[in-house]
Amino acid sequence: MTLETIDFAQLYRQHQALSTRTRKTASAWDARAPGMAAKALASGYAQDFVARMDLRGAQSLLDVGCGPGTIGLLLAAQLQQVVGLDYSAGMLAVLREQAAARGLQQVQTLQRAWEDDWSDVPECDLVVASRSTAVADIDMALHKLHAKARRRVYLTHLVGGHFTDPHIQDAIGRRVPPQPDYIYLLNILHRMGIHPELSYLTQESRLAGAPDFAEFARRVAWSLGELNVVETTRLHDWYERASPAQRAGAPMRWAFISWEKTPC
């Protein structure tokens, strides 16, 4: 067998299909939008992301799965056009509020899913997808990002496949299959004739700093799906014994993948 015979796009789709149980709807993201804005926009993760970007020659940016505008808003003052694309109306409403509060008139929103027709999505100098690539078909997503970029593409994708530390999964007695991690993306990009750059960035676990058990359990359920009574009891017993560091679990690690768009 050689690497060329492996269909990484198909392998990813099969792998991702195993983890559909925790896939989120747009309305689930709507509900998270107000709470996410303050945290994401001020995060070290966002600062670290934009610090790695090359803005030379760029006037426009398309931010795919933009959420509350985590990346686009940080850069808008340096650009003439920022388009935030997301399927969650709630996220886009928060992005518009945040842009208005900062007097950023160059920010537009586009309610669209990865899976929709993108024929009217504008091409931009820079295209970004931050923590938003957990799609059923990553081959489709990478082709769309590439097609809409005039100069450069930047994305982050999960390393290791777990949104919740496996130790915490063990504590409740339920292991969720890992999501396909970034290594598929590198292989698919290679097949597309693209030679991306790779680095890593970390983010404090979402469970860190949960003020009480109710909030902690809510955050665990966001990633793992609803917990039943037995699982909630196990989690509570474990939570009572765990230190703050154990409760937080390991930091989340993201692969930061970027490439230049060379003119055809």
Ligand X SMILES: C[S@@+](CC[C@H](N)C(=O)[O-])C[C@H]1O[C@@H](n2cnc3c(N)ncnc32)[C@H](O)[C@@H]1O
Catalog residues that contact ligand X under the rule CB under 6 A.
29, 40, 65-67, 70, 86-88, 91, 113-115, 130-132, 135
Shorter beta-carbon distance to ligand X: residue 9 or 73: 73
Euclidean distance between CA atoms 209 and 248, whole angstroms: 7
Name the minimum Å distance from CB 91 to ligand X.
4
Contact 60, 124 (CB under 8 A): yes
- Residue 50 CB, shortest distance to ligand X, in Å, is 11
Residue type, 163: F
CA distance 189 to 207: 32
Instruction: State the residue number with the nearest CB to ligand X.
Output: 67
What whole-number distance in Å separates Cα of residue 231 and Cα of residue 22?
16
Indicate the SS3 state at residue 136: coil
Closest by Cα among 249, 239, 231, 223 to 163: 223
Nearer to ligand X, 60 or 88 (CB): 88
Q: Which is nearer to ligand X, 33 or 171 (CB)?
A: 33
Residue 127 burial by Cβ neighbours in a 10 Å radius (0-12, 13-18, 19+):
buried
Least Cβ distance, residue 6 to ligand X (angstroms):
26
Beta carbon nearer to ligand X, 60 or 231: 60
Tokens read off for 26: 């747009």
Smallest separation, CB 215 to ligand X (Å): 18
Query: Smaller CB distance to ligand X: residue 115 or 260?
Result: 115
- Looking at residue 231, the DSSP 8-state letter turns out to be H
Name the minimum Å distance from CB 138 to ligand X: 12
23: DSSP letter: P
Show the tokens assigned to 236: 């509570």
Nearer to ligand X, 97 or 246 (CB): 97
Nearest approach in angstroms of CB 111 to ligand X is 9
- The structure tokens listed for 189 are 């990009």
